[in-house]
Amino acid sequence: MLDIRRIRNELEAVVAELDRKGVPSDEVRRAHDIDVRQRAVAADRDGVRREIKEISGEVGRMHRDGRVEEAEERRARSRELGDREARLAAEADDLAQQLRALLLRIPNTPHPDVPSGVDERDNPVLRVHGFDPDAYAPHQRVPHWETGEALGILDVERAVKISGSMFTMLRRGGATMSRALCQWALDRNADAFEEVRPPSLVTTETLTNTGQLPKFADDAYHLERDDLWCIPTAEVPLTSIGSGETFRQADLPLRYMAYSPCYRREAGSAGRDTRGLLRTHEFDKVEILAYARPEQAPDLLEEMTGRVESAMVDLGLAHRVIEICGGDLGQSHHRSYDVEVYAPGCDQWLEVSSVSWFSDYQARRAGIRYRPEQGKGTELVHTLNGSALAVPRVWAAIVETHRREDGTVAVPEVLWPYTRGITVLEP
RNA sequence: GGAGCGGUGGCAGAGCGGACGAAUGCACCGGUCUUGAAAACCGGCGACCCGCAAGGGUCCGGGGGUUCGAAUCCCCCCCGCUCCGCCA
């Protein structure tokens, strides 16, 4: 959520900032309007409550002093006020509820340095590593789904039989390498991040904290019987670890990482990226996440992006970093970098990580605070997160990049400690 | 799933219709004392919202209700613990 005080005091600035994301101003203006009315009604309500409290105190004292009929008169007066209080309170609650519902739908404002743009075509490429389009041999120009089926390490047909379209199944060395990628990704970030194994099913409240609800309910799997949601990313449970809690400034930044399965309905993307592993309902991912003081956030964003890039280097994959422009930034995002890997077989840049800074947008929804060493009270933390490694697309890029002339695939050496001796994927 | 007990400030733990935002202890912050520290003593110490401020309001798991007045009484829900059942 945005800070209602900013909407209150700097409405036009907020409108201008949201415009950079292509967000129309009507909802913010309506929020501003409701806020004005809400506060007026709440002030009236509080005045009446104050009177009731005073009178109740008097009634108590009169009773002790035996002034019964005087007390009776005061009591009648308070009863009248009670009706007014109830009406004002109901109105104030209703307005507050409307305001919150609106606020939950209004996106975060972008960081001032976010480049202007309308959609993904306007995302500037920040840097490119190890990419030379002419350097690929014909044996690398084979899409991973063909190599995967030929080697018996990818079995899409049976996955579809078991679970329906857009589910996949890895087998033998392919399954082993997938698991190895997760373990390796966790181990290489263990220097700075606490390993967590979070729940994969979460409550409506938890899925609201990170911004997926209420707006994007169609994208998530919902277990109606128990009113639980399948997480689309470990960001969801990890962000809510600290919900409703207040941390000490000295403990920040707090860093967590987790392997988790991720579930996405991919509503509206039927027919896109239908081959292979590029877009599936269920996949594995290792996520890294931090709670930080606002001043710490910019450096953390760079550090976390750097961690993803160096992982791609170690896997021998060509990749690039792009910055997400205003119009392409997600609902909750303040600033984002995408890391994309080049897959020579399908000749595509595949997004394997999106490292993002959410400013205090998620922390305000979730109530994650810290106590500053100077000054009074509490402040909201800033949250950041990114995929340390999204398995299927990295798997695809490895199978295409490291395919050899004989049709087998070389497993990157950094994974060998995790593959039970498998160094080559072969039939 | 069934039965019993419980959910109060950072923690422990009183309060069980009015003077309670809440005793007390610990923790924490400031001071006295001390070469320094500890101990002792003195003082302070919750969060959130509205307000320039003065000040006001809300919060005793959550939601309803009773009452002039609810942490305290009633109803529903959630969570925890113990026992039973079931189960990887």
Nucleotide lying nearest to A369, CA to C1' measure: B47
Nearest to A180 by CA among A396, A426, A415: A415
Domain that holds residue A45: 4-105
SS3 A84: helix
pLDDT at res. A375: 63
pLDDT tens, position by position, A269-315: 766 777 889 999 999 999 999 999 999 999 999 999 999 999 999 99
With a cut of 70, which residues of chain A have pLDDT below it?
A: 270-271, 374-376
Q: How much of chain A, in percent, has pLDDT values that exceed 90?
A: 69
Distance A130 CA to B86 C1' (A): 57
Q: Are A366 and A321 in contact (CB under 8 A)?
A: no
Q: How far apart are CA A292 and CA A382, in angstroms?
A: 5
Q: Are A202 and A240 in contact (CB under 8 A)?
A: yes
DSSP E strands in A89-205: the ranges are: 125-129, 194-196, 201-202
Q: Are A152 and A173 in contact (CB under 8 A)?
A: no
Dihedral (CA of A269, A358, A260, A419) sign: positive
Task: Determine, yes or no, domain membership for A32.
Answer: yes
Type of residue at A89: A
Nucleotide lying nearest to A61, CA to C1' measure: B18
Strand B CB shell (< 7 Å): A 4-5, 8, 39, 42-43, 46-47, 49-50, 52-53, 55-57, 59-60, 63-64, 75, 78-79, 82, 246, 369, 376-378
Task: Determine, yes or no, domain membership for A286.
Answer: yes
Strands laid side by side in the A379-380 sheet: A246-248, A369-371, A379-380
Q: Which of A267-270's residues contact partners 24+ apart within 8 Å by CB, and which partners?
A: A267/A218, A267/A219, A268/A218
* Residue A376 sits in the same domain as residue A418: yes
Distance A46 CA to B71 C1' (A): 21
Q: How far apart are CA A210 and CA A235, in angstroms?
A: 8
Task: Determine, yes or no, domain membership for A88.
Answer: yes
Nearest to A215 by CA among A102, A341, A371, A80: A102
pTM of the model: 0.93
pLDDT at res. A154: 97
Type of residue at A103: L
Q: How far apart are CA A114 and CA A17, in angstroms?
A: 11
* Residue A57 sits in the same domain as residue A143: no
Enumerate the nucleotides of strand B whose atoms come under 7 Å of any protein CB.
18-19, 47-51, 56-58, 68-69
Q: Predicted ipTM?
A: 0.80
* Residue A266 sits in the same domain as residue A295: yes
pLDDT at res. A316: 97
Instruction: Indicate which CATH number applies to the domain containing A169.
Output: 3.30.930.10
When divided into structural domains, chain A yields a total of 2
* Residue A137 sits in the same domain as residue A219: yes
Instruction: Indicate which CATH number applies to the domain containing A97.
Output: 1.10.287
pLDDT at res. A353: 96
Task: Determine, yes or no, domain membership for A60.
Answer: yes
The token duo for A7 is: 């909407």
Task: Determine, yes or no, domain membership for A113.
Answer: no
pLDDT at res. A270: 66
Distance A204 CA to B4 C1' (A): 31
* Residue A141 sits in the same domain as residue A254: yes
Nearest to A299 by CA among A379, A116, A307: A307
pLDDT at res. A376: 66
* Furthest-apart CA atoms within chain A: distance in Å: 103
